[in-house]
A and B are shown apart, each in its own frame.
Chain A
Amino acid sequence: MIRVMLPAHLRTLANVNGEVKVDVTGQPTQRLVLDALEASYPRLRGTIRDHVTKQRRPFIRFFACERDLSLEPPDTPLPAAVASGAEPLLVVGAMAGG
């Protein structure tokens, strides 16, 4: 079970409160977690990464275990604490604009 914390606007869009939990088969990676997230919440498709290229949107960042994982390749295994459910994967809207 992977815990994911979405930014407020995406929680509203997905109609969820607090963290969401998704199941991933095998070693969790950004790609697998986002695949599972979009399968559970189809409204999020296109809001975190591109529909086709699957590239992270420029003003979205991924954090976990006090590390910025945004520039990690999407198939890199997530930290063990995220994989175990001890820590959430944070999806963050970059601090910019008003």
Chain B
Amino acid sequence: MSKVRLLVGTRKGAFVLTSDGKRQQWEIDGPHFAGWEIYHVKGSPADPDRLYASQTSGWFGQLIQRSNDGGKTWEPVGNQFAYDGVPGTHQWYDGTPHPWEFKRVWHLEPSLNDPDTIFAGVEDAALFRSSDGGQSWHELPGLRGHGSGPHWQPGAGGMCLHTILLDPRDPKRIFVAISAAGAFRTDDSGETWRPINRGLKSEQIPDPNAEVGHCVHRIAMHSSRPNVLFMQKHWDVMRSDDAGESWREVSGNLPTDFGFPIEVHAHEPETIYVVPIKSDSEHFPLEGKLRVYRSRTGGNEWEALTKGLPQSDCYVNVLRDASSVDSLDTCGIYFGTTGGQVYASANAGDSWAPIVRDLPPVLSVEAQTLA
């Protein structure tokens, strides 16, 4: 029988949540790396028991942990993230030049077909790759070096590369997103990159239609249609039907279009999910009601999903890497909150129940569907 394993990163450790295919009873294992910030944990699509975790600390810096047994045991691997050449400068919050400085790994994206190859999105924004199971890391410098890098500026959470999408049909194509620079694409395995932000409009920056400078919070794709991208921007939910060449807004009837995560249903490429948040200055659900919004039309027409979610006095946030879907026949969807709850829906969002209520603030959730 199929199983689901959730890899949960929190402010104070990692947790592994497992259930059978019914997704009603869950075992909770953890904390792993207790006391450390675990920004992200993700498994290899080619070997689901091969996991990678980004373990970080303001005191002790960055570690990368690797597991070969689905999270039962871990070993630290390479933690040296050195920018290629002279790193140069980006813009600081006040617009002055600021040297590129490595701070942490936000997101780990294992290769679709090689358990030993993995990409890391880091702060200050850059993309690294390891082809030896995380032992050594090398920057793909064409991203920072394509020309607009000196104009990038950090978002409120830092200048982080937080999203990495690997095109399942074209192994040379990768999409990344950076706060607050925007979205970028390579078509040659990371050698060269270009911004793909046409159609984004951000009133908070000097030129609302600038080539870079947009605070993209998350991008999602369905593996069957890698040219269709969905984006949760700082404000605005966006869609591209041409691999990011152009974007159009699909916020439609959302009560607020500010938010962080965006997900695509595992089997319905036009069914997408967001968690609207009141505003950039009030990072909590509108009216204290935790509502996931689902569109079955690829955007514009949204319905609130509330069954089983708190509908009063709820002031948590859901961060950009803190949602995921499984690929069982009835798609499961999951998200974690800054209040430490992990919610699950085994019926594509129609109803929800908490798996666990009192974890540390949740930074990331990744679902694995296991045979």
Residues of A within 8 A of B (CB): 7, 9-10, 13, 43, 45-48, 51-52, 57, 59-60, 93-94, 96-97
- The answer, among A46, A52, A57, for a CB contact under 8 Å with B59, is A57
- The answer, among B35, B36, B58, B62, for a CB contact under 8 Å with A46, is B62
Between A and B, 5 residue pairs with Cβ closer than 8 Å are: A9-B57, A46-B61, A47-B63, A51-B79, A60-B60
Query: Is B204 interfacial (CB-CB < 8 Å)?
Result: no
What's the dominant secondary structure at chain B's contact region? loop
Query: Is B80 interfacial (CB-CB < 8 Å)?
Result: yes
Assess whether A9 is in contact with B80, with CB atoms less than 8 Å apart. Answer: no
Contacts of B61 in A (CB 8 A): 46-47, 57
Contacts of B62 in A (CB 8 A): 46
Q: Which residue of A lies closest to B60 (CB)?
A: A47
Contacts of B82 in A (CB 8 A): 51-52
Cα A43 to Cα B62 with chains together (Å): 11
Query: Is B255 interfacial (CB-CB < 8 Å)?
Result: no
Contact of A46 with B57 at beta-carbon distance under 8 Å, contacts A9-B35, A9-B36, A13-B63 already known: no
Residues of B within 8 A of A (CB): 35-36, 57-63, 76, 79-80, 82
Contacts of B36 in A (CB 8 A): 9
Assess whether A9 is in contact with B76, with CB atoms less than 8 Å apart. Answer: no
Cα A19 to Cα B211 with chains together (Å): 55
Question: Which among B58, B59, B62, B76 has the greatest number of chain A C-beta atoms within 10 A?
Answer: B59
Contacts of A97 in B (CB 8 A): 58
Assess whether B60 is in contact with A43, with CB atoms less than 8 Å apart. Answer: no
Q: Which residue of B lies closest to A43 (CB)?
A: B76
Q: Which residue of B lies closest to A51 (CB)?
A: B80
The 4 residue pairs across chains A and B that have the minimum distance between CB atoms: A47-B60, A59-B59, A93-B59, A51-B80
Cα A89 to Cα B170 with chains together (Å): 54
Contacts of A43 in B (CB 8 A): 76
Cα A47 to Cα B79 with chains together (Å): 9
- The answer, among A46, A48, A59, A93, for a CB contact under 8 Å with B80, is A46
Q: Shortest distance in angstroms between A79's beta carbon and chain B's nearest beta carbon? A: 24
Contacts of B60 in A (CB 8 A): 9-10, 13, 47-48, 57, 60, 93
Q: Shortest distance in angstroms between A27's beta carbon and chain B's nearest beta carbon? A: 28
Q: What 10 additional pairs, Cβ within 8 angstroms, besides A10-B60, A45-B79, A52-B80?
A: A7-B59, A9-B35, A9-B60, A46-B62, A46-B79, A46-B80, A47-B79, A51-B79, A57-B60, A96-B58
Cα A7 to Cα B57 with chains together (Å): 13
Contacts of A57 in B (CB 8 A): 59-61
Cα A57 to Cα B60 with chains together (Å): 7
Assess whether B59 is in contact with A9, with CB atoms less than 8 Å apart. Answer: yes
Q: Shortest distance in angstroms between A81's beta carbon and chain B's nearest beta carbon? A: 26
Q: Which residue of B lies closest to A48 (CB)?
A: B60
Q: Which residue of B lies closest to A44 (CB)?
A: B60
Cα A93 to Cα B236 with chains together (Å): 42
Cα A10 to Cα B35 with chains together (Å): 11
Assess whether A94 is in contact with B63, with CB atoms less than 8 Å apart. Answer: no
Question: Which among B60, B63, B76, B80 has the greatest number of chain A C-beta atoms within 10 A?
Answer: B60
Assess whether A94 is in contact with B59, with CB atoms less than 8 Å apart. Answer: yes
